[in-house]
Amino acid sequence: MRFSPLLEQLIETLRCLPGVGPKTAQRMALQLLTRGRDNGKRLAKSLIEAMENIGHCQQCRIFSETDICEICTSKHRDSGLLCIVENPIDVSVIEQTSSFRGKYFVLLGHLSPLDGIGPEEIGIAQLKKHFERGDIHEVILATNPTVEGEATAHYISEMAKQHSIKVTRIARGVSIGSELEYIDPNTLAHAFAGRETI
Amino acid sequence: MRFSPLLEQLIETLRCLPGVGPKTAQRMALQLLTRGRDNGKRLAKSLIEAMENIGHCQQCRIFSETDICEICTSKHRDSGLLCIVENPIDVSVIEQTSSFRGKYFVLLGHLSPLDGIGPEEIGIAQLKKHFERGDIHEVILATNPTVEGEATAHYISEMAKQHSIKVTRIARGVSIGSELEYIDPNTLAHAFAGRETI
């Protein structure tokens, strides 16, 4: 015996959260019981509401409880500029930079044939319909700079070119504040290849 | 705008968990939505069950959904040996050692006059009733080796002595596997004072 059955069950279910191991789950459960029962109930309520009501925006596939998300309905954003990202969190990260005023399309993954993830799984058919609409003047590929991300970007760029849409890829180079000494050769090669005239 | 209102709400409420900051909460919420909706609902259910049904054992004050916990009802444990700890998690830690077969009393805190925590808040009245029962032959003080823990241990030891009960304090000394070089002087002094004949 370690804890009462209900407490053991709570500790066990808390472990479904990413990064939460047995010790952390124990600490969370005990802290909620000791001085956060109202918070615990609020969390339960908000979990149920979110799990049951949040779907995907029918246009850009970001998480949204409405059919079309706020970004897609916004009249202040350029519908002709489409940024393609892998995950919903990427949208949030890009929004924080305040440097992009177009719209998004979220793939919810990347091409990975070995894992059985092909064009269908990442919404390519839906993306094609956007391209066929004819009002997109530029597609910005902001998939991750990984092998899978690059392959996915390449696949989409070929498709966009067939629709005569200009395609760009976010710059790969050195991070602001980093030191050349610690940068991997591949990134540095990209930084040289993508050098800009000043 | 960053996420949809329900998603923002979920991220905000996840932050009530200890050690969860904005980034972690975001990751948790997005991961639950992406590939753990059933887990999310299970977590919500188990949170509600726990928050509403788990109380304290009427005898030892550990978390329990029954009036008397499993340890207190056990016939295989020595009721005459009472181990006093500060927190419910301490019981779990001691149980893992399998070296104690008595019963527990959980203070749910320690004396801390500056924070307004006096004997009443840590269940001293209830503990006194246990002492008055007359069948306790030894009280083991396992409060934390901190200033407050030592003060609490001292307070309880005085009370136990009034009832002519033998009182012991868990040994304070060097940790197994540690090196003398890195041990604080206070602990080392305790290790010398508490040395054992071999």
Q: Which pLDDT value is given to residue B125? A: 94
pLDDT value of residue B66 = 93
Closest-CA residue in chain B for A34? B108
- Whole-number percent of chain A with pLDDT over 70: 99
- pLDDT tens for each residue of A105-131: 999 999 999 999 999 999 999 999 999
- Contact assignment for A63 to B33 by CB distance below 8 Å: yes
Angle of helix A147-162 relative to helix A124-133, nearest 10 degrees, comes to 40
ipTM greater than 0.90, yes or no?
no
Chain A residues near residue B46 by CB distance under 8 angstroms: 6, 9-10, 13
For residues B113, B115, B119 and B120, what is the CA-based torsion angle, rounded to 10 degrees? 140
Per-residue pLDDT tens listing for chain B (198 residues): 578 899 999 999 999 999 999 999 999 999 999 888 999 999 999 999 999 999 999 999 999 999 999 999 999 999 999 999 999 889 988 988 888 999 999 999 999 999 999 999 999 999 999 999 889 999 999 999 999 999 999 999 999 999 999 999 999 898 988 888 888 988 998 889 888 888
> A120 by DSSP, 3-state: which?
coil
Chain B contact for A24 (CB, 8 A cutoff): yes
Instruction: Give the pLDDT of residue B156.
Output: 96
CB-CB under 8 Å, B50 with A47: no
* Phi, psi dihedrals of residue B127, rounded to the nearest 5°: -65, -40
A33 interface with B at CB cutoff 8 Å: yes
Decide if B16 touches A, using CB distance below 8 A: yes
A173 pLDDT more than 80:
yes
| Chain-chain contact of B5 with A45 (C-beta, under 8 angstroms) | no
Using a CB-CB cut-off of 8 Å, the residues of chain A touching B88 are 3, 30, 34
CB A92 within 8 A of CB A106: no
Question: Rounded mean pLDDT of A137-158?
Answer: 94
Interface contact A42, partner B, CB < 8 A: yes
**Tokens matching residue B61:** 């004050």
The overall average pLDDT reported for chain A is 92
Which residues on chain B are in Cβ contact (under 8 Å) with A26?
A: 89, 92
- Domains of chain B in sequence order: 5-53 (1.10.8.420), 76-169 (3.40.1360.10)
Q: Is B6 on the interface with A (CB under 8 A)?
A: yes
First to last CA, chain A: 70
CB-nearest partner of A7 from B7, B30, B50: B50
Q: What's phi and psi for B169, nearest 5 deg?
A: -120, 135
Q: Is A51 in Cβ contact with B47 (below 8 Å)?
A: no
Q: Residue B96: name the closest of A32, A28, A6, A22 by CA.
A: A22
pTM, to two decimals: 0.78
B54 → closest Cβ in A7, A43, A95: A7
Tell me the average pLDDT across A58-69. 93
Within 13 Å of residue B18, how many CA atoms lie on the same side as its CB?
Answer: 14
Is B17 within 8 Å of chain A by CB? yes
Among the partner residues B3, B42, B88, nearest to A30 by beta-carbon distance: B88
Q: Is the dihedral of CA A37, A43, A49, A51 positive or negative?
A: negative
Interface test with B, best of A2, A8, A17 (most B CBs within 10 A): A17
Residues in chain A within 8 Å Cβ distance of B2: 92, 95-96
- Residues B124-174 pLDDT 10s: 999 999 999 889 999 999 999 999 999 999 999 999 999 999 999 999 898
